[in-house]
Amino acid sequence: MSKWACVDGLRIHYRISNEAVPEGRPTVVLVHGLIVSSRYMIPTLKRLARHYQVYAPDLPGFGKSEKPSRTLDVAGLSNALSAWMDAVGLKRAVLVGNSMGCQIIADLAVRYPELVERAVLQGSTMDPRGRSVSRQVARFLLDMTREPPSLLSIELRDYLAAGTRRGWHTLRYALEDRIEENLPRLRAPVLVVRGSRDPICPQRWAEEMVQILPKSRLVVLPGAAHAANFGAPEELVNVIREFLEKGKEA
């Protein structure tokens, strides 16, 4: 279901599951990637909602959320995510991100560690070896040939809603962000997930992430591309559940 919250004077749209779940289960927040919105998170949200309370916000400037006067960088989006969590009454949650959403979660976990119980970084950007507009565009175009065709219409709709100027500045901010400097400072347990056919998050980069994260492990989803949250939601939810249930046992 769709809801709205006022965050720093902006109307922020978010999706929330309404299925009944057992008490004591963690709350999960899904964080979308570059220029898109929570819309492509719906397949994962629906499957996670069978087991957890799930939220998926449209970050300021994207999807149905109101646009701030200036484009927010990674830290600005992280601040907005923190403020949104406060506005909807979330004191702590499991953060699950895709693509640039992983950069936002890493920044959030460093500056607001009390908010992050655990983190799942799926298809994380920004691979230091691909930190240029030309490389990212080339990788994106290759990835689109590997994604379900229905994803393209969703992404085009979100790109048009965000606008070219906001999209360009957001990409530039993502390229400037040094996630590799934040990762060693994360104290929450982290699950790194990569689709085996993801050209945007290469295997070498995923392995490097695990090497510099204090508490992490890597899972590769066979056959999945960059947006496993859309193209392989069942497989993604299975590994997320395993990660969270093991944490509960510990």
167-198 residue pLDDT tens: 999 999 999 999 999 999 999 999 999 999 99
CB count in 10 Å sphere of residue 184:
11
Look at residue 24 in the predicted model and tell me its pLDDT: 87
Indicate the pLDDT class of residue 249, thresholds 50, 70 and 90: very low
Q: pTM above the 0.75 mark?
A: yes
Cα separation of 224 and 50, whole Å?
22
Backbone angles phi, psi at 147, to 5 degrees: -90, 160
Please state the rounded mean pLDDT for residues 58-69. Answer: 97
pLDDT tens digits, one per residue of 21-49: 888 899 999 999 999 999 999 999 999 99
Look at residue 226 in the predicted model and tell me its pLDDT: 98
Look at residue 250 in the predicted model and tell me its pLDDT: 38
Reference 74, options 102, 105, 119, 104; nearest CA is 104
Per domain, the residue ranges of the chain are 2-249
Burial of 46 (0-12, 13-18, 19+ CB in 10 A): middle
User: CA-based Rg of the chain, rounded to a whole angstrom?
Assistant: 16
Q: Which helix (H) or strand (E) holds 102?
A: helix 100-111
Reference 143, options 217, 193, 194, 95; nearest CA is 194
Cα separations in angstroms, 247 against 35, 153, 171, 201, 244: 32, 37, 34, 26, 5
Cα separation of 69 and 46, whole Å?
33
CATH of domain 2-249: 3.40.50.1820
Look at residue 248 in the predicted model and tell me its pLDDT: 55
For 174, half-sphere exposure in the C-beta direction (CA atoms, 13 angstrom radius) is 25
